Chains A and B, each alone.
Chain A
Amino acid sequence: MTEIRWHSRAGQGAVSGAKGLGDVVATTGKEVQAFALYGSAKRGAALRAYNRISDEQIFNHAKFMNPDYVLVIDPALAFSDNIEVNEKPETKYIITTHLSKADLIAGIPALHGKEDRVYVVDCVQISLDTIKRSMPNSPMLGAFVKISGMFELDYFLENMKRVLKKFPQKIIDANMEAITRAYNEVN
């Protein structure tokens, strides 16, 4: 079982990101779960979304998890939310930021000593460059693909095209570019 927790603000696309990831993972024959708890949350409110990935049917419906990956797609939440809650010794963090990894970790005591499992990528800037608005979910998926090694990039891109098929070609292309850039830039 692989468990992923997304830290996001309502409107940044963590829910779509989690569902899109689940959709692609399911094509590999695995069982997936993608959920978020929201409802009356306003745009901009902090929210968490969740993924579970397993070779067998997933029965655990609890929100509680000890995540294998923590994906932070809002730069400020890395500082203000408890992104390390219920972590494991091997939990990997992928955080969107304009800062260098060293500067980011310096500013977040909870990440001190975890340099080898913290990764940074500027999903906001990448999405502004490609999708032309702040939509950091797609780039985060590219970064996750790289860090997790769960898929070949090309396989993931092909399947994301299918997930996004209801959108105009221009938007699909921009998302593909965003995913690819984040895949290459995450460090």
Chain B
Amino acid sequence: MAVEFEVNKREVWDGNYAASQALRQADVDVVVAYPITPSTPIVENYGSYVGNGYIDGEFIMVESEHAAMSGCIGASASGGRVATATSSQGFALMVEVLYQASGMRLPIILNVVNRALAAPLNVRGDHADMYLGRDSGWIQFAAFNAQEAYDLALMAFRVAEHHDVRLPTMIHQDGFITSHTAQNVYPLSNEVAAKFVGVIDPIDDMLDFSKPVTYGAQTEEDWHFEHKAKQHKAIIDSVPVIDAIFAEFKELSGREYKRIESYDMEDADVCVIGLGTTVESARVAAKEMRAEGVKAGVVAIRCFRPFPYEELRTVLENCKSIAVTDRSSPGGAMGAFYNEVAAAMMTSQSRPLVTNYIYGLGGRDISIENLKEIFKEQQANADAGYITTDIQQFTNLRGPKLSFFKTDRS
């Protein structure tokens, strides 16, 4: 029988520790891992919880992230509750297998501590790895601080394992800025957390000898499309389940989560829309802009997949100029996040001005002042009625101003 791990009502935890505590409280059966900075402590801590008897589980070290996710697939297909963590290059090596997990509808939980992709080699945070997973068929939640990394990790099990969903789910947190930043975290008691997460009720598990099944069937053009379509619909259809579990968690903890979060948007003329810790910094900047007379707001995507197109249109309905912030090198195009926001707003009645800011690559700091500059440019756009800058700009970059793509107003 497992030893009780003592948890206080108020802890000072960093994002990694918070996520690992969620794995412990969720009584995860199997973690298969190949640790990588900055996500290492998540799986390392799980291993120590197993080793010290706090949890009755299996910690399996393998030879690569490709093998780690493969092992997770085996354990999950066998009916276990399964989780792991990775970052950056490790995530990249895992990508092939991510598609296998989602295609087989296995409810694996992956804690992704976002980190830049080399070259040049870098251990700090940006969203290059997160974007790499965006078409992989996983549900993707974004945490903006350690508390949320903990809360979302608990909720992710409920969402992923729900019989109407059955999709693997990632929880993203910013490398170092969340993962290595200790903040006040108010965890659930072990008992309450365990009751909330519950016990996995497996489907099509390979250890059910009364119903042998084949995993990994081959399909060619006569079947593949139908399977992928069904999978896509499952992601879209996970929305009501996610909303219900967010609501249930609010009842339990008092902490409210929405697939799209908005702050000071009721009367906002201009806004910054983002992912990760920058959302919280932008809230500080927006408050300061309001003190300076600019009706500034912030919109954040909590649920990157399924992407909340309709909710986004609603929340941005009356906004005049929108700055979409992408923390990933766009590689010869607009930022991926910009494209999604622009797609949503292109099909809106209001058709606001939408600009793109590339920022924070490789963990480059983004200060309140940087964010206030972005708000000021949005206000200038709103006043002019057109985009006064190039559409895509690089923020807080050394060297001459770098920007691309112009609006045609002729």
A contacts B directly (C-beta below 8 A)? yes
Taking beta carbons and an 8 Å cutoff, which residues of A are in contact with B?
18-19, 22-23, 26-27, 31-40, 57-64
A19, closest chain B residue (CB): B182
**Residue contacts A-B, CB under 8 angstroms, 17 given:** A31-B183, A32-B184, A33-B182, A33-B183, A34-B12, A35-B176, A36-B180, A37-B363, A40-B123, A59-B280, A59-B283, A59-B284, A60-B281, A61-B181, A61-B277, A63-B367, A64-B368
B365, closest chain A residue (CB): A63
Contacts A31-B183, A62-B366 known; A37 to B124 CB distance under 8 Å?
Answer: yes
B285 → A minimal CB distance (Å)? 9
Chain B residues within an 8 Å CB radius of A38:
180
Complex contact A62–B365 (CB within 8 A) = yes
> Once the chains are docked, how many angstroms separate the CA of A32 from the CA of B181?
10
Complex contact B365–A58 (CB within 8 A) = no
> Once the chains are docked, how many angstroms separate the CA of A51 from the CA of B365?
16
A14 → B minimal CB distance (Å)? 13
> Once the chains are docked, how many angstroms separate the CA of A35 from the CA of B363?
14
Complex contact A26–B12 (CB within 8 A) = yes
Question: What 0/1 readout, one digit per residue, does chain B (181-205) give for beta carbons within 8 Å of chain A?
Answer: 1111000000000000000000000
Interface residues of B in 37-53 (CB under 8 A from A): 37-38
Other 5 A-B pairs with CB < 8 A, given A32-B182, A62-B281, A62-B367? A22-B183, A35-B177, A39-B176, A58-B183, A64-B368
Contacts A31-B184, A35-B181 known; A64 to B12 CB distance under 8 Å?
Answer: no
> Once the chains are docked, how many angstroms separate the CA of A57 from the CA of B366?
19
For residue B70, CB closer than 8 A to chain A, the reply is: no
Complex contact B123–A33 (CB within 8 A) = no
Contacts A59-B281, A62-B366 known; A26 to B10 CB distance under 8 Å?
Answer: yes
Top-7 shortest CB links A-B: A35-B181, A39-B123, A61-B277, A59-B280, A64-B367, A34-B182, A63-B365
> Once the chains are docked, how many angstroms separate the CA of A63 from the CA of B182?
14
Complex contact B281–A61 (CB within 8 A) = yes
> Once the chains are docked, how many angstroms separate the CA of A22 from the CA of B181?
10
> Once the chains are docked, how many angstroms separate the CA of A62 from the CA of B280?
10
> Once the chains are docked, how many angstroms separate the CA of A22 from the CA of B363?
23
B367, closest chain A residue (CB): A64
A163, closest chain B residue (CB): B12
Complex contact B182–A37 (CB within 8 A) = no
For residue B89, CB closer than 8 A to chain A, the reply is: no
For residue B102, CB closer than 8 A to chain A, the reply is: no
A62, closest chain B residue (CB): B367
Contacts A26-B12, A32-B182, A61-B280 known; A39 to B124 CB distance under 8 Å?
Answer: yes
> Once the chains are docked, how many angstroms separate the CA of A63 from the CA of B181?
11
Complex contact B368–A34 (CB within 8 A) = no
Chain A residues within an 8 Å CB radius of B277:
61
Q: Is chain A's binding surface mostly helix, strand, loop or mixed?
A: loop
A29, closest chain B residue (CB): B10
Count of chain B residues with a beta carbon within 8 Å of a chain A beta carbon: 30
> Once the chains are docked, how many angstroms separate the CA of A57 from the CA of B10?
13
Interface residues of B in 1-34 (CB under 8 A from A): 10-12, 14
Chain A residues within an 8 Å CB radius of B284:
59-60
Contacts A19-B12, A23-B12, A62-B365 known; A35 to B182 CB distance under 8 Å?
Answer: yes
> Once the chains are docked, how many angstroms separate the CA of A31 from the CA of B186?
11
A4 → B minimal CB distance (Å)? 13
Chain B residues within an 8 Å CB radius of A40:
37, 123
> Once the chains are docked, how many angstroms separate the CA of A52 from the CA of B363?
19
B15 → A minimal CB distance (Å)? 10
Question: What 0/1 readout, one digit per residue, does chain B (351-369) give for beta carbons within 8 Å of chain A?
Answer: 0000000000001011111
> Once the chains are docked, how many angstroms separate the CA of A123 from the CA of B367?
32
> Once the chains are docked, how many angstroms separate the CA of A34 from the CA of B14?
8
Complex contact A64–B365 (CB within 8 A) = yes
> Once the chains are docked, how many angstroms separate the CA of A57 from the CA of B182?
13
> Once the chains are docked, how many angstroms separate the CA of A132 from the CA of B301?
51
For residue B84, CB closer than 8 A to chain A, the reply is: no
For residue B278, CB closer than 8 A to chain A, the reply is: yes
Chain B residues within an 8 Å CB radius of A33:
181-183
A31, closest chain B residue (CB): B184
Interface residues of B in 130-147 (CB under 8 A from A): 145
Chain B residues within an 8 Å CB radius of A63:
365, 367
> Once the chains are docked, how many angstroms separate the CA of A27 from the CA of B38?
28
- CB-contact partner of B37 in A18, A32, A35, A39, under 8 A: A39
> Once the chains are docked, how many angstroms separate the CA of A59 from the CA of B367?
12
Complex contact A61–B182 (CB within 8 A) = no
Chain A residues within an 8 Å CB radius of B366:
62
B366, closest chain A residue (CB): A62
Best-surrounded residue of B123, B182, B183 (most CB of chain A within 10 A): B182
Chain B residues within an 8 Å CB radius of A60:
280-281, 284, 368
> Once the chains are docked, how many angstroms separate the CA of A11 from the CA of B166?
45
Chain A residues within an 8 Å CB radius of B10:
26-27
Chain A residues within an 8 Å CB radius of B14:
19, 35
Complex contact A22–B280 (CB within 8 A) = no
Complex contact B182–A22 (CB within 8 A) = yes
A23 → B minimal CB distance (Å)? 5
A39, closest chain B residue (CB): B123
> Once the chains are docked, how many angstroms separate the CA of A104 from the CA of B405?
54
> Once the chains are docked, how many angstroms separate the CA of A49 from the CA of B358?
26
B185, closest chain A residue (CB): A26
> Once the chains are docked, how many angstroms separate the CA of A19 from the CA of B10?
14
